[in-house]
Amino acid sequence: MARERNRASSSSLSSASSSSSAASSVDSGTTSRPGDERSPVELLGLPGVRGQSAVTRALTDALHAGRLHHAYLFDGPEGTGKATCARALFAALNCQDPPAVGAACGRCESCYKLSHGAHPDLIPFDMSLSGLADEVERLIRRLQAPPFEGRVQMVILDPADLFAMPTAATAANRLLKTLEEPRPNTHIVLVTQSASSLLPTLRSRCQRLRFVPLADDILRHLLTLPPESGVAVDAVDYGPPIAGSDAELDAAIALSQGSLGAAKRALADRERLQQCAAAAESLLAAARSGRATQMVEAASSAGADREQAQEILEHLWLRLQHELRAAVQQRQPPTAHSGLIAALRATRSAGLAIRGYTAAPLAIERMLRHVGDALSAPTLASASPQRGRPSHARE
C-alpha cells in the first residue's frame, strides 16, 4: 500500500513543482533522478530512524532546546539512513499533529504530502546537474522566499561530496553565504559519505553529525521486516525485503559493511552471492589440499574479476569466521584457534593487497599458501574432527 503510493511520487513531485514556478527550476531536475524513489515507509519522524541513536538524540535535544542548527552535514557510509533522517526531521518539523517532539504523525496533510514526495517545502537538490553553479544560484533565489505552506523549508543536497570536485568550486562558493545565514525557517542538509573531502569553508558552516554503519542485528531486523512496517532507514527504495536463507542473510550482512543498501543488493543478486560462496569453498579446498597446482588454478579463477575477488574473499572470511565461532563454542583449547586466526588475517591482507592494486590472482595465490599452512598446523588438525559444520555450507 505504502509502496504503491510511493511509486507515484516521482510524477506527483513534478506536478507539485510545476505548480510553483519559483521552485520549478530547482525541483524539476531532481524528479527524474534514477533511484530516487521514495521510501516505502510512513515517516514517523526521528523515532522511525533506526540504528543512529547518537544522531537522532542530538537532533531531538536540539529541538527540545529550540536550537536546531540551520545547516547540517550528515556524514557517513552509504545506506545508513542519512537522507531518510533529513526527511524524518522535515516530517517532524512540519507535522501538524506531532505525537512528541521530533516525531511525526504520518497522517496529517503535511505528512501525507511528504510521503507522496509532493511537499513543496522539501527541496531535493540534484547535485549531478550540469551547470551546477547556475543551479545553486537558482536554489539560493528559491530559498529567499518563505516556506510555501509548512513551518519550515528544507533543502537536501545529496550527494554533497560532488562539491569536492574542482569543477564544482564555484557552485560551492556561491552556496557559502546562504549556508551561513539562511532566512528564518530554512534548513539545509548536506548529505555526504566523506565530509573530510569537502572544502573547509563548507564544513565549518555546518554542524556535522556522523552516521555509523548499521549493526548486524539492526540490519537483520530491517532485512526481514514487512515493507509496510513504518521504519525509515533510507530514502532510497531498495525493493521489498528478500527472504533469504539464514546463510544468505549472514553473507549479505557480512558483505554489506553496515549498509542496508549494500545488503539488499547482495540479496537481490542471489546468483552472484552463491557463485561467490562456491568460489570461496573452492579456495578453501585448494588451501587445505596443499597442492600448488590446485591453488594456482583456484586463485586465477577467483581473481579473474577484481571486484568479485573482493566479494569472494569476504565470503571466505565469513566462512572461516563460522569455523572459529564453532571452535570457540565447543570450548576447544585456544591453541586450536591460532590457525583459523592466522587464516582470517591472511584473508584480510589479501583483500587489502588487491585494493592496493596487487594483481588479484597473485594476492590470492599467496593467501592460499598462508591459509593452507595455517590450517594444517598440528594443533588445528587434532581439533578438526570436532569442528562444527558452518551454517554457510548448509543448503
Segment near Zn ion (CB under 5 A), from 6-14, 90-98, 297-305, 309-317?
Answer: 90-98
**105 versus 260: smaller Cβ distance to Zn ion:** 105
| Shortest distance (Å) from residue 108 CB to Zn ion | 3
Cell of 259: 549498509
Long-range residue pairs from 345-354, CB within 8 A, at least 24 positions apart, any chain: 346/370, 346/371, 346/374, 347/313, 347/316, 347/317, 347/320, 347/371, 348/317, 350/313, 351/310, 351/313, 351/314, 351/317, 354/303, 354/306, 354/309, 354/310, 354/313
Tell which one of 95, 157, 316, 318 touches Zn ion (CB under 5 A): 95
Kind of pairing between the strands at 186-192 and 153-158: parallel
Site string for Zn ion, 162-201 (x = CB under 5 A): ----------------------------------------
The answer, yes or no, to whether the previous bond of 159 is cis (omega within 30 of 0) is yes
Q: Is 111 in the site for Zn ion (CB under 5 A)?
A: yes
| Shortest distance (Å) from residue 188 CB to Zn ion | 22
What is d(CA 65, CA 255) in angstroms, rounded to the nearest whole number? Answer: 40
Segment near Zn ion (CB under 5 A), from 33-41, 80-88, 107-115, 272-280?
Answer: 107-115
Q: Is 247 in the site for Zn ion (CB under 5 A)?
A: no
Q: What is the DSSP string of 127-162?
A: TT-SSHHHHHHHHHHHHTSPPSSSS-EEEEEETGGG
| Shortest distance (Å) from residue 343 CB to Zn ion | 53
Kind of pairing between the strands at 71-75 and 207-210: parallel
Cell of 273: 552471492
Q: Is 152 in the site for Zn ion (CB under 5 A)?
A: no
Q: Is 368 in the site for Zn ion (CB under 5 A)?
A: no
Segment near Zn ion (CB under 5 A), from 3-11, 96-104, 244-252, 337-345?
Answer: 96-104
Segment near Zn ion (CB under 5 A), from 101-109, 242-250, 304-312, 364-372?
Answer: 101-109
**85 versus 95: smaller Cβ distance to Zn ion:** 95
The burial class, CB within 10 Å (0-12 / 13-18 / 19+), for 257 is: middle
Residues in the interface with Zn ion (CB under 5 A) total: 5
Q: Is 118 in the site for Zn ion (CB under 5 A)?
A: no
Q: What is the DSSP letter of 106?
A: S
CA–CA distances in Å: residue 31 to residues 37, 92, 119, 187, 309: 9, 23, 13, 21, 36
**99 versus 290: smaller Cβ distance to Zn ion:** 99
Segment near Zn ion (CB under 5 A), from 95-103, 259-267, 304-312, 314-322?
Answer: 95-103
Q: Is 105 in the site for Zn ion (CB under 5 A)?
A: yes
Q: Is 108 in the site for Zn ion (CB under 5 A)?
A: yes
Chain contacts with Zn ion (rule: CB under 5 A): 95, 104-105, 108, 111
